[in-house]
Amino acid sequence: MKFCSNCGHAVSRRIPPDDNRERDVCDNCGAIHYENPRNVVGTVPVLEDKVLLCKRAIEPRYGYWTLPAGFMELGETTTQGAARETLEESGAHVEVGELFTVLNVPHVHQVHLFYLAKMLAPDFAPSEESLEVKLVAEAGIPWQELAFPTIHHTLKLFFQDRAEGRLGDGRPRVHQLDINRPMRLAAPAANLDGAASPSSASAPAYGA
Ligand SMILES: [Zn+2]
């Protein structure tokens, strides 16, 4: 931040009194601009033995596959946000179920939460945010073309739990993971920039 969002004066980076971290502080109006992690909420939409994946039509990770997810909006709950993002990115209406993964991604200042979700009908479609949307069985998951480590881990855990009969056994469980550095991912096609780092993007973008 360069200018105060409260009064427009230039801010300076320093540790305010009674604090122990540097903040953007306005010397004109006294506002202290705290920055805190953002929540990314999404779902694992399930229909029979398949999950719904979206091919990203936006940066970062354009052209890579993802589970529907995005930043929470003000005024909504995590489950509302997860359902909204699922509808926006895939056109699918889902019944959001239990919380499945909580993934800390401190290097991009994010916490990702994925819910298991039941697709209410086999209806889905590409959107402004997705080039393609498809139901995929475990054998068809494009592991080398997934957009983010949080997607990779969530899908791995989903298929692992399912194989072990631990989904829908009436005992909800949450997997917690800390992802401390970007994962190296292969480029899915020659014309895509697989080296793009979400954390270096200037615009807010979710990723890992
Ligand atoms: Zn100010």
Domain ranges of the chain: 1-35, 38-200
Q: What is the pLDDT of residue 208?
A: 57
What does CATH list as the number for 1-35? Answer: 2.20.70.10
> What's the CA-to-centroid distance between 23 and ligand 1, angstroms?
13
> What's the CA-to-centroid distance between 10 and ligand 1, angstroms?
8
CB 69 within 8 A of CB 112: yes
> What's the CA-to-centroid distance between 24 and ligand 1, angstroms?
10
Using CA atoms, how far apart are residues 137 and 163, in angstroms rounded to an integer?
A: 13
> Residue 204 above 60 pLDDT?
no
> What's the CA-to-centroid distance between 33 and ligand 1, angstroms?
9
Which of the four pLDDT bands, split at 50, 70 and 90, describes residue 36?
A: very high
> What's the CA-to-centroid distance between 25 and ligand 1, angstroms?
8
> What's the CA-to-centroid distance between 32 and ligand 1, angstroms?
8
Using CA atoms, how far apart are residues 189 and 156, in angstroms rounded to an integer?
A: 23
143 against 172, higher pLDDT: 143
Q: What is the dihedral of CA 100, 104, 110, 112, to 10 degrees?
A: -10
> What's the CA-to-centroid distance between 5 and ligand 1, angstroms?
7
Assigned superfamily of 38-200? Nucleoside Triphosphate Pyrophosphohydrolase (3.90.79.10)
> What's the CA-to-centroid distance between 75 and ligand 1, angstroms?
26
Q: Which of 84, 71, 73, 45 is nearest to 198 (CA)?
A: 71
Which of the four pLDDT bands, split at 50, 70 and 90, describes residue 196?
A: very low
The mean per-residue pLDDT over the stretch 161-178 comes to 90
Which of the four pLDDT bands, split at 50, 70 and 90, describes residue 169?
A: confident
Using CA atoms, how far apart are residues 100 and 93, in angstroms rounded to an integer?
A: 19
> What's the CA-to-centroid distance between 179 and ligand 1, angstroms?
35
> What's the CA-to-centroid distance between 38 and ligand 1, angstroms?
23
Using CA atoms, how far apart are residues 54 and 85, in angstroms rounded to an integer?
A: 11
> Residue 149 above 90 pLDDT?
yes
